[in-house]
A and B are shown apart, each in its own frame.
Chain A
Amino acid sequence: MDPIIKLEGISKQFGKVNALEDISFQLFPGEVHCLLGDNGAGKSTLIKILSGVHRPSRGEFLFEGKPVHLDSPRQALDMGIATVFQDLAMLSLMSITRNFFLGREPKKRLGPVQLFDATYAARITEEELRKIGIKIRDADQPVGTLSGGERQAVAIARAVYFGAKVLILDEPTSALGVKEAAVVLKYIVQSKLKGIGVIFITHNVHHAWAVGDTFTVLNRGRSYGTFKREETHRENLLQMMAGGEELDELAVELDLISKRDPGQAGEIEHRMAKELE
């Protein structure tokens, strides 16, 4: 199978800051590709290149085998690259329906005037949200009344409805509680099963490990490489994300504590596991 997105030797400078250096990256249809890395690693910069917000300083960007130069997010959207940005980009005072169809309003004609077909829009919105398992009492309510997870759901449903081939999610689970995060992970799997290539950015290795097929770890703008699920394991990814050393230190500390006080160490480990899971 051919990759739907292929980046080769992509670099991006902001003035003197090297946000990305020589990144190569592939995404296949029906794959969940997790993009991992610490704060400032360059994850958002990379997906902003994919979504047409930034242009790469160097390197090649192929979409379905052909080189592309994106000038705007709208252009990426029209090609089938849909992005749910970190700041979510939803208008909280606008209704769910209006957000869902923003920029692609369904129209009906009234003589020479183009009207916003509100009934149709509301019906589709409710339908699409029901499909991914969200029941909205009223699609006319402002997006601001939704929880973080529900907003992610609306954004994902919108991308799927408008025929995304690539779905990019920038930290969709970071601001969510455990249950809501699990629901968003479920949407990711649903999208993948539809044949959509998903790029899933997260800090949380456990979230990544739960749904990911492929993992790319960034660190200060460089790639540690891309790993298939079969080729790696969770601790490996954790180690790379943290840059290795800090985590080793943590392990040593835990080891020390456990020698002094086995009960407490167990409790800490238990707490961490609960926290992370």
Chain B
Amino acid sequence: MNFKKLLTRPEFGAFVAAVGIFVFFAAVAGEGFLSISGTINYLEVAAQVGILAVSVSLLMIAGEFDLSVGSMIGASGMIIALAVTQFDWPLWLAIIVAFLFSLVVGYVNGWLVIKTRLPSFIITLASMFLLRGLTIGFTLLITNVTRASGLGTYTEGDFLAPLFLGRPLGLPISIWWWIGLSLILGWMLFRTPFGNWVFAAGGDALAARNVGVPVARVKISLFMLTAASATLLAIIQVLDTGSADVLRGEQKELEAIASAVIGGCLLSGGYGSVYGAAIGALILGMVQEGIVFTRISTDWFRAVLGGMLLAAVLLNNYLRHRALRSR
């Protein structure tokens, strides 16, 4: 691949930014930031956003939003916690049920978006509130508290738990999932017919339908994917901390969208990159953890994030226009 082609890839801007930010923190906070524990720290934060961001980016390329993934994290976590602690289910069964639940929620989100033709922003905003409210309501109804803890003991001997727990080769499992999902989904986007349909569904749904692309099926399956990735993250968190909280995952949907946008996804759909979203998550992780090692107070993180997002949108817009002009 020649250099000019590299320049026009959607994730190019994010890649350059990631290198720049790494160099910046290495220079101002080298000792802590570059240490092994520092590296694992920011990679783990990045992984938690990244697991969501890579599937959210696919959905955005297909032209839709999912604002309900944050609430889905809280809901899945509580489903597992309650099933195990209150109803004595084996952990593996709780995990499977949580995944099934997320697939149903994703399906309903997608189905409503297709049937009502309302913007997915509105539909999933509604499901964001609904899911969060129902999670809080049912949890209080069953337990009288909004937290469940002491889940750590249930992982022993469970055959599914090792998939979501521990530190293979010294790295937290979330990092492995983040890398694995990025590679698989990124590969799917560029190398399979389904990936082609994702671009087409977001670029011009009507034109895509006219040549026989099953647009509804593509979109609905991506809503199911984003919901399932939220559940995946919830499981990892629950097993790692041994606890679940009804408020867990709040604002994660926005961080995931921010990562996807920093990674080159177009808000209007039809353009973007899974790898870009993964790099966007890496940037978020590096900034959030990097600030800790500097003398800057971490309270500034959101301001930095906001500024970066704005800069990313402007940069990516510029690069995309260049890509369309280059002949």
Contacts and interface: CB of A to CB of B under 8 A. Distances in A.
Interface of A: 53, 72-74, 77-78, 83, 85, 87, 89-94, 98, 101-105, 107, 113-116, 118, 137, 140-142, 144-145
Nearest to B327: A145
A93 B203 contact: yes
A186 to B, nearest CB: 22
Given A77-B211, A115-B192, A145 B203 contact: no
A209 B197 CA distance: 39
B210 A89 contact: yes
B193 A74 contact: no
Interface of B: 5, 190-193, 195-197, 199-200, 203-204, 206-213, 266, 270-271, 320, 323-327
Contact of A90 (B207, B213, B327): B207
A118 B199 CA distance: 15
Given A93-B271, A142-B323, A145-B324, A116 B192 contact: yes
B325 A145 contact: yes
A102 B208 contact: yes
Contacts of B5: 140
Most buried by B among A87, A92, A93, A115: A93
B206 A89 contact: yes
A102 B211 contact: yes
A19 to B, nearest CB: 19
Given A73-B209, A85-B207, A91-B207, 7 more contacts: A72-B209, A72-B212, A91-B199, A93-B270, A98-B199, A102-B196, A102-B211
A274 to B, nearest CB: 30
A104 B211 CA distance: 8
Contacts of A116: 190-193, 195-196
A102 B209 CA distance: 10
Contacts of B195: 116
Contacts of B193: 105, 107, 114, 116
Given A91-B200, A91-B203, A102-B200, A113 B326 contact: no
27 contacts: A72-B209, A73-B211, A74-B209, A74-B210, A89-B204, A89-B210, A89-B211, A90-B207, A91-B207, A93-B266, A93-B270, A93-B271, A93-B320, A93-B324, A94-B199, A94-B270, A98-B200, A101-B196, A103-B211, A103-B212, A104-B211, A105-B193, A116-B193, A116-B195, A137-B327, A141-B327, A145-B324
A35 to B, nearest CB: 19
Nearest to A76: B210
A89 B207 contact: yes
B180 to A, nearest CB: 16
Contact of B213 (A102, A140, A141): A102
Contacts of B197: 102
B211 A94 contact: no
Given A91-B270, A116-B193, A118-B191, A145 B204 contact: no
Contacts of A144: 324
Contacts of B270: 91, 93-94
B327 A113 contact: no
Most buried by A among B5, B190, B193, B208: B193
Contacts of A107: 193
Nearest to A51: B210
Contact of A142 (B206, B210, B266, B324): B324
A48 to B, nearest CB: 10
A236 to B, nearest CB: 35
In the A-B complex, the 7 residue pairs with the smallest Cβ-Cβ separation, listed nearest first, are: A74-B212, A103-B211, A89-B207, A91-B203, A105-B193, A103-B212, A73-B210
A113 B204 CA distance: 26
A116 B194 CA distance: 8
Contacts of A77: 211-212
A144 to B, nearest CB: 4
A199 to B, nearest CB: 17
A39 to B, nearest CB: 22
A91 B204 contact: yes
A107 B270 CA distance: 22
A116 B197 CA distance: 11
Nearest to B193: A105
Contacts of A53: 210
A78 B206 CA distance: 18
Contacts of B213: 102-103
A180 to B, nearest CB: 16
Nearest to A146: B327
A145 B320 CA distance: 11
A141 B267 CA distance: 21
A53 B207 CA distance: 11
A83 B211 CA distance: 10
A144 B321 CA distance: 10
Nearest to B268: A93
A104 B213 CA distance: 9
Nearest to A53: B210
B13 to A, nearest CB: 16
B210 A105 contact: no
Contact of B196 (A92, A98, A140): A98
Contacts of A137: 327
Most buried by A among B195, B211, B213, B326: B211
